[in-house]
């Protein structure tokens, strides 16, 4: 790690520390998969996520569609307000 830091020729102490922390993070990230090899974790399925036509999913999709429509309406309203303000501002210049 010292050699890599010297080769990068950092301009100051802050740059040196930042580089050292970054290199240490890379080293830890690379060593983690090797340590965790062979460890498996059991997962369970959830019927709510598997059934696309379940009542919970249908309600969630409807809520999301309503929320998106509300957001679109708000965006259109804000766009109109901005255009009105731009028109007023351009009229003031003349």
The list of the chain residues with pLDDT below 50 reads none
State the pLDDT at residue 55.
73
Please report, for the chain, the start and end positions of each structural domain, with discontinuous segments joined by +: 1-36, 59-94
CA–CA dist 5, 15 (Å, integer): 10
Instruction: Return the closest-CA partner of residue 16 out of 6, 24, 26, 25.
Output: 6
Work out the mean pLDDT of the chain and round it to a whole number: 81
CA–CA dist 83, 88 (Å, integer): 9
State the pLDDT at residue 57.
75
CA–CA dist 59, 67 (Å, integer): 12
Taking only the tens place, the pLDDT of each residue in 68-90 is: 999 999 999 999 999 999 988 88
Are the C-beta atoms of residues 23 and 38 closer than 8 Å to each other?
A: no
How far separated are the first and last CA of the chain, in Å rounded? 65
């Amino acid at each position: 790690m010292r050699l890599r830091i010297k080769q990068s020729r950092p301009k100051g102490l802050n740059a040196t520390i930042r580089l050292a922390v970054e290199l240490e993070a890379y080293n830890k990230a690379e060593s983690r998969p090797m340590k965790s090899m062979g460890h498996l974790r059991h997962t369970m399925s959830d019927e709510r996520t598997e059934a696309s036509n379940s009542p919970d999913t249908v309600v969630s999709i409807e809520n999301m569609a309503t929320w998106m429509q509300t957001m679109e309406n708000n965006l259109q309203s804000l766009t109109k307000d901005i255009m009105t303000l731009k028109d007023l501002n351009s009229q003031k210049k003349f």
